């Protein structure tokens, strides 16, 4: 066998080594063809119908390119062939644990007793082991543990001197990694949005210093562009109010179907979980069973665009720990029950909660690439943001006729906490 060449819309021609083909040609990886990359966002932006399969190929490609480049430019790092192979495999397999509609499914799972501890990263590890056993691939226990740790970004015990290799696929130090490089570029392409961050420059102008991947100081603003792109996509696309409304509807459809289809019982065993893809929606939609009637009704409403209604939202300061519940709103209003109301607690940030990820990043200068330095925002631009996370409380309703009542109750509740409502989100009366 010889390496395959795949033409990609983001990375052009990608070479797929033979050992990666062994993983690609598996039911576990091929399953990713049936998972849309941006979940319910594709219901709002029709062209964003790409899948986690091509994203995973892209992450594997970038991970391999990155580690190969570091090995060539810094032979003193003594990067091993095992590390090169395992990083590529980790890039390919990092999303194996996603369920139908990706993060929407994870949110639904947390509503169930069986899925309260479900995290797609953990399932990715289980699916990886299932894949290796299923195909009888020849990887040692040490190899598998390394791949697992590269997927989670948590360095193996005893490998602290190789901490830099964990910065490539899933960087928990500052969240700058090839997973982000690929999905920001790929999602932007399919959304028809220009991407202003140049991730190829970030790779080219990076090197390992003191066991950490550092970037040339002239790329510091490029990093802020990277994180601003992430924030913009989350604000304008991933958390679009229509996409979120449809996400809540799919969640309700799954919840009503769960007693019959036993979806939540498939959250622990990878051999059961592998059947859960976006096709689950079609399984319910085209069913004839009486037990799935309510779920079918919800899905039909999605198809006919009779979706849950966005009611109101408020932006809070990060130190405001206000908790709004459906019960609190229903208690204030008249003729409202908690089941009418969905409270969406949303946090938008630069990828590191309320911290500035660039200030958790080390740099080097063009004149000395052997010492790492920090670059404060005061040395970059006076226009650098001072806040890196915003909290939003958004209210949706399953019952459009009660929109005005729910908004009035919500705003009375805000008034009790001396919070000014958003004047631009006033609900108009329902048209007869």
Domain ranges of the chain: 4-235
pLDDT 10s digits, 2-60: 899 999 999 999 999 999 999 999 999 999 999 999 999 999 999 999 999 999 999 99
Q: Which residue has the higher pLDDT, 335 or 425?
A: 335
55 counts as catalytic: no
Q: What is the CA radius of gyration of the chain?
A: 23
Report field, pTM of the whole predicted structure over 0.75: yes
Which residues, including other chains, have CB under 8 Å from residue 334's CB and lie 6 or more apart? 405
Cα–Cα separations (whole angstroms), residue 34 to 39, 189, 276, 282: 11, 20, 9, 12
Closest CA to 199 of 214, 218, 219, 213: 219
pLDDT 10s digits, 319-372: 888 899 999 999 998 999 999 999 999 999 999 999 999 999 999 999 999 999
Concatenating the DSSP letter of every residue in 345-379 gives: EEEEESSBTBS-GGGG--EEETTEEEEEE---GGG
Cα distance between residue 63 and residue 57, in whole Å: 10
Active-site residue among 11, 61, 98, 120? 120
Give pLDDT, residue 317. Answer: 83
For domain 4-235, the CATH architecture is Orthogonal Bundle (1.10)
């Amino acid at each position: 066998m010889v390496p395959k060449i795949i033409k990609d819309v983001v990375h052009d021609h990608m070479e797929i080594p033979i050992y990666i083909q062994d993983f690609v040609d598996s039911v576990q990886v091929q399953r990713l063809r049936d998972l849309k990359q941006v979940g319910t966002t594709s219901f709002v932006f029709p062209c964003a119908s790409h899948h986690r399969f091509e994203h995973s190929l892209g992450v594997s490609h970038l991970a391999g390119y990155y580690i190969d480049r570091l090995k060539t430019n810094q032979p003193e790092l003594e990067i091993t062939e095992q590390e090169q192979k395992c990083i590529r495999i980790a890039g390919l397999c990092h999303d194996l644990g996603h369920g139908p509609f990706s993060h929407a499914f994870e949110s639904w799972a947390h509503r169930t007793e069986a899925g309260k501890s479900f995290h797609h990263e953990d399932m990715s590890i289980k699916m990886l082991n299932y894949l290796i056993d299923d195909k009888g691939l020849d990887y040692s226990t040490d190899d598998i543990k390394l791949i697992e740790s590269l997927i989670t970004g948590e360095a193996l015990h005893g490998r602290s001197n190789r901490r830099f290799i964990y910065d490539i696929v899933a960087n928990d130090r500052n969240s700058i990694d090839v997973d982000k490089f690929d999905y920001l570029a790929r999602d932007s392409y399919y959304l028809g949005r220009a991407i202003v961050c140049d991730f190829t420059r970030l790779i080219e102008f990076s090197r390992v210093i003191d066991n950490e991947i550092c970037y040339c100081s002239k790329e510091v603003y490029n990093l802020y562009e990277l994180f601003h792109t992430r924030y913009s996509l989350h604000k304008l696309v991933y958390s679009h109010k229509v996409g979120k409304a449809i996400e809540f509807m799919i969640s309700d459809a799954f919840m009503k179907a769960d007693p019959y289809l036993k979806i939540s019982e498939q959250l622990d065993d990878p051999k059961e979980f592998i059947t859960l893809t976006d096709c689950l929606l079609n399984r319910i939609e085209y069913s004839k069973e009486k037990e799935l009637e309510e779920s079918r009704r919800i899905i039909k409403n999605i198809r006919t665009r009779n979706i849950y209604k966005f009611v109101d939202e408020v932006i809070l300061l990060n130190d405001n720990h206000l908790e709004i519940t459906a019960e609190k709103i229903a208690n204030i209003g008249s003729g409202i029950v908690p089941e009418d109301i969905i409270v969406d607690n949303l946090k938008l940030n630069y990828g590191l909660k309320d911290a500035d990820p660039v200030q958790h990043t080390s740099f080097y200068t063009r004149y000395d690439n052997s010492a790492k330095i920090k670059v404060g925002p005061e040395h970059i631009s006076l226009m650098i943001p001072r806040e890196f996370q915003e909290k939003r409380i958004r209210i949706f309703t399953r019952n459009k006729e009660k929109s005005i009542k729910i908004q009035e109750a919500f705003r009375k509740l805000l008034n009790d906490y001396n919070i000014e409502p958003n004047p631009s989100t006033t609900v108009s009366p329902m048209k007869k």
